[in-house]
Amino acid sequence: MAVRRDRAAGSQTAGNGNPIPRTQLTPQQIAIAFGLLSNALTVNSVLIDRDRNLQFVVTGRLANLELLFKDLGISKNDMLKMFD
């Protein structure tokens, strides 16, 4: 799919001209994505239920995440609040 950027509006459109919706990521989603991209978290399993819903089980060591967030200037308490 080709993506074009509308310079005037700053939005992106698909090749068919329809706008691509922007999503707001939660702190939990950002933390999980960052953990996966930095190899602090790994996907342990993917579960599919009868309604075809997906669940991803990720594993990792809290110490690895603490080091990554420390490098970003995020305290341990702030990191744990992300998962509340």
pLDDT digit string, tens, across residues 40-70: 889 999 999 999 999 999 998 877 777 777 7
Please give the tally of structural domains in the chain: 1
- pTM, whole model, 2 decimals? 0.54
Segments of 1-84 assigned E as strands: 3-6, 11-14, 41-48, 54-60
- Give pLDDT, residue 83: 67
Specify if 1 maps to a domain: no
Specify if 12 maps to a domain: no
Specify if 5 maps to a domain: no
Specify if 13 maps to a domain: no
Neighbours of 61 (CB within 10 A): 10
**Cα–Cα separations (whole angstroms), residue 57 to 51, 62, 68, 69, 84:** 18, 15, 20, 21, 17
Tell me: the pLDDT tens digits for 4-44?
A: 444 555 556 666 777 777 788 888 888 888 889 888 889 99
End-to-end CA distance of the chain: 36
Specify if 4 maps to a domain: no
Which residues span the domain enclosing 48? 22-82
